[in-house]
Structure 1
Amino acid sequence: MSLQAKIMVKMKEAMKSKDSVALQSLRAVKSEILLAQTKGGDIQFGEAEEIKLLQKLVKQRKDSAALYVEQSRQDLADPELAEAEIIAQFLPAQMSTEDLKTFITDLIAKVGADGMKDMGKVMGIASKELAGKADGKAISTIVKELLSK
């Protein structure tokens, strides 16, 4: 089942249960999918593009929530975090920090990276292989940590 079909099913469920936060989140995802299809000219786009789109939407909401918290506006941050959580349900399961460290340690050994000068090489490969499985910021933090030792 495509992402668009899954979104439609969840939207119907949200309408029936009168869950306005879920409905708003799902409508935003549907809108972004339609916008991406219109811009790209594709009728259907692949799973990798869907994952990127969902990650972008989750990141936007988390960034907005962080700004609201920074400005002491918890009343505005809570809905953003709720929406991020609903959208994140459609993403593949995220890797744990330990699994991520293990993967990146193996990758560093395989690539032969020996310092911060090789960070770009490691990040390029790690980002491609971990697309959808881990957040780019988490990957970057662990790569920096491991290469600076």
Structure 2
Amino acid sequence: MDLFDQISNDIKEAMKAKDKVALETLRNIKKYFLEAKTAPGANDTLTDDAALKIMQKLSKQGKDSAAIYTQQGRADLADAELAQVEVIEKYLPKQMSNEELEAALKEIIANVGAAGPQDMGKVMGAATKALAGKAEGRVISAKVKELLG
């Protein structure tokens, strides 16, 4: 079962369970999936990789929104955003721990032959491909700067 079908089935389950947060979040995800499926050149298909990228983007947006709401003293809105992010993250691959990320990046740095901060572009190119979905870009970037600096 692909991710699109999984989300569709989980919408039905959320309706039965009367889980409003999950239902709203899953419907929003499905809306983005349908937009991606019907986009020009998509041929009415959505791969799981493309679906994961959409969900990662939604998760990141939710976290960013929650941070802004928190800065503005709107804990109620921040909590709502974080509840939706929690639903989205159930479908995302497990994020790497700090130690796992550091080990993977050290290996990538050795493979690329990076010597210092001037090689950050080479390392980031390889790292973002190898670690796609397993760690956020800004976390990867910060760790690469630390290791090369």
CA RMSD of aligned residues (A): 0.9
State the partner residue of 2:18: 18
State the partner residue of 1:105: 106
**Residue 121 of structure 2 corresponds to residue 120 of structure 1:** yes
Ranked by relative contact order (alpha carbons within 8 Å, sequence separation 6 or more), the top structure is 1
State the partner residue of 1:131: 132
State the partner residue of 2:71: 70
Q: Give the deviation of 1:47 after TM superposition.
A: 2.2
Are the equivalent residues in 1 in contact too, given 2:4–2:51 (CA < 8 A)?
no
Q: Which runs of 5+ in 2 are unaligned?
A: none
**Residue 57 of structure 2 corresponds to residue 60 of structure 1:** no
- The alignment covers a number of residue pairs equal to 148
- Structure 1 segments of 4 or more deviating over 6 A? none
Partner Cα distance (2:127, 2:46) in 1:
23
TM-score w.r.t. structure 1 length? 0.96
What CA deviation, in whole Å up to 9, does each residue of 1:29-83 have, x standing for no partner?
A: 0000001111143322222211111100101101100000010100100010010
Partner Cα distance (2:97, 2:43) in 1:
34
TM-score w.r.t. structure 2 length? 0.96
Q: Percent identity?
A: 52
Q: Out of 63-72 and 128-137, give the one that drifted further.
A: 128-137
Mapping for residues 27-38 of structure 1, pairs under 5 Å: 27-38=27-38
Partner Cα distance (2:113, 2:68) in 1:
39
